[in-house]
A and B are shown apart, each in its own frame.
Chain A
Amino acid sequence: MAAGGKISGDPVAPVSVRIQTGDFDISEEIEALTGDRADIGAVVSFTGLCRDEGGRLSALELEHYPGMAERAIRAIADEAVARFNLSGITAIHRYGAIPPGGNIVLVVASAPHRQAAFDGASFLMDFLKTDAPFWKKEHLKDGGSGEWVSAKDADDKAKLRWQKS
């Protein structure tokens, strides 16, 4: 059988997607993904945090489309598992008001080797930015009602690098 091919008896790669208001604990999420397994050689985690934008912001308010938000991230996570042969992947996205310094999003990808784990986490984030139904609104320190954050062309370009030629 070809190297790297799936053989029957391979553990099923767990995909965990959660949309929640509460914070998350990175160590717990890594442990949940790797704790009872001996076939994982690499774990990559990415955490996205709320910036204060030079001291202007009192909070970011995250709005989401319940139902579709989880469905969209799960579809990207499933694709990441299949494409990079991940051992597992966890994605958590918070909603509600998040103060500067607070966690917004977590991705943890595990794999036998590091490149797949890096790629899996990066792939999921690139697609999440443009395809998952979340929107950010700024709340300003001076009490003013802030603007909705605009989508960035750079985010659209970031996902193009994953196109298969």
Chain B
Amino acid sequence: MSVRIVYFAWVRERIGKGSEEIDLPADVKTVGDLIAHLATLGEEYAAAFEVPRVIRAAINEEHAEHDEVIGDAKEIALFPPMTGG
């Protein structure tokens, strides 16, 4: 299954792109699994996801915890804690 992943702030900078389509391995079920999988894709990904617990996620533009199942999500966003306002 292919899913669109979008990155923001220093996650985007470390990976070097704002979005990409990823083919999900069958064993990637949750947001946490996805982050662990991405971290294996290269040095830049390892740098972005070196501390997985600080990464926040959204599935189809709704906040999601790391144990949330990805299911048939269209878009998953991964980003640092938010600092608006």
Cα–Cα distance between A129 and B85 once the two chains are bound (Å)? 5
Task: Report how many A-B pairs have Cβ atoms within 8 Å.
Answer: 70
Indicate which residue in B58, B81, B85 contacts A128 across the interface (CB closer than 8 Å): B85
Q: Which residues of B contact A68 (CB under 8 A)?
A: 58, 61-62, 77
- B8 A65 Cβ-Cβ under 8 A: yes
What is the distance, in angstroms, from A91's C-beta to the closest C-beta of chain B?
A: 10
- A137 B9 Cβ-Cβ under 8 A: yes
| Known contacts A63-B8, A63-B9, A65-B8; A135/B80 CB under 8 A | yes
Q: Which residues of A contact B61 (CB under 8 A)?
A: 65, 67-68, 71
Q: Which residues of B contact A48 (CB under 8 A)?
A: 85
The count of residues in chain B whose C-beta lies closer than 8 Å to any C-beta of chain A is 16
Q: Is A125 an interface residue (CB 8 A)?
A: yes
Q: Which residues of B contact A134 (CB under 8 A)?
A: 82-85
Residue of chain B at shortest CB distance from A126: B85
What is the distance, in angstroms, from A77's C-beta to the closest C-beta of chain B?
A: 14
| 42-70 of chain B: CB within 8 A of chain A | 58, 61-63
What is the distance, in angstroms, from B80's C-beta to the closest C-beta of chain A?
A: 7
What is the distance, in angstroms, from B63's C-beta to the closest C-beta of chain A?
A: 7
Cα–Cα distance between A104 and B84 once the two chains are bound (Å)? 9
* Chain-B contact segment, one of A25-33, A81-89, A144-152: A144-152
| Known contacts A63-B8, A63-B9; A135/B83 CB under 8 A | yes
| 31-86 of chain A: CB within 8 A of chain B | 48, 62-65, 67-69, 71-72
Cα–Cα distance between A36 and B60 once the two chains are bound (Å)? 38
| Known contacts A67-B61, A68-B58; A151/B81 CB under 8 A | yes
- B8 A132 Cβ-Cβ under 8 A: no
- B85 A133 Cβ-Cβ under 8 A: no
Residue of chain A at shortest CB distance from B12: A63
Residues of A at under 8 Å CB distance from B? 48, 62-65, 67-69, 71-72, 93, 104-105, 125, 128-137, 148-151, 155
What are 7 A-to-B residue pairs whose CB atoms are below 8 Å? A68-B61, A130-B81, A132-B85, A135-B82, A136-B84, A148-B83, A150-B83
